[in-house]
Amino acid sequence: MQENEIAVAVVLDMSLGESPVWSVARQTLYWVDINNGRVYAWRPQAGTPPTCFELGEKVGCIALADRGLVAAAASGIVRLSAGGEPERLVDNPEWQTGQQNEQQTVRGNRFNDGRCDAAGRCGWAPSLLTKRALRRRSTVSTTAS
């Protein structure tokens, strides 16, 4: 039986790392740090640390696009260029800037998980109810049928 050694490839200080996506064409691994609003890009063969793009808001997931990435951020769906500059594609209708420019959603929802298949068809889980929103509501009920 062959033994394999597993080693840590990248050490980063992240809050909640998710949504890994591998680009064969770019030989790059992408992922998000949801709570810190960061998207990472790492080329293992380059031997350099990952590149970090700061979105300035929570980002739930990413998908490969022709010229960069598409990300589901709290304020909506954005395209990220190869340099990480965001371009708004779809607004989150619940997004607002509150008191003291605290960015939040009206009902405490944000875009969350999503994936695209090899044909480029994407499925997004459009919202996630945050703990903050649950605290604001007096009752929460679930109905199953």
Domain edges within the chain: 17-136
pTM above 0.85, yes or no: no
Please, which residues have CB within 8 angstroms of residue 38's CB and are 6 or more apart in sequence? 14, 32, 52, 53, 54, 55, 59
Q: Which residue has the higher pLDDT, 76 or 98?
A: 76
Q: How confident is the model at residue 28 (pLDDT cuts 50, 70, 90)?
A: very high
pLDDT at 45: 93
Look at domain 17-136 and name its CATH class.
mainly beta
pLDDT at 144: 40
Write down the mean pLDDT value for the chain: 77
DSSP-derived 3-state class of residue 111? coil
Q: Residue 139 pLDDT > 60, yes or no?
A: no
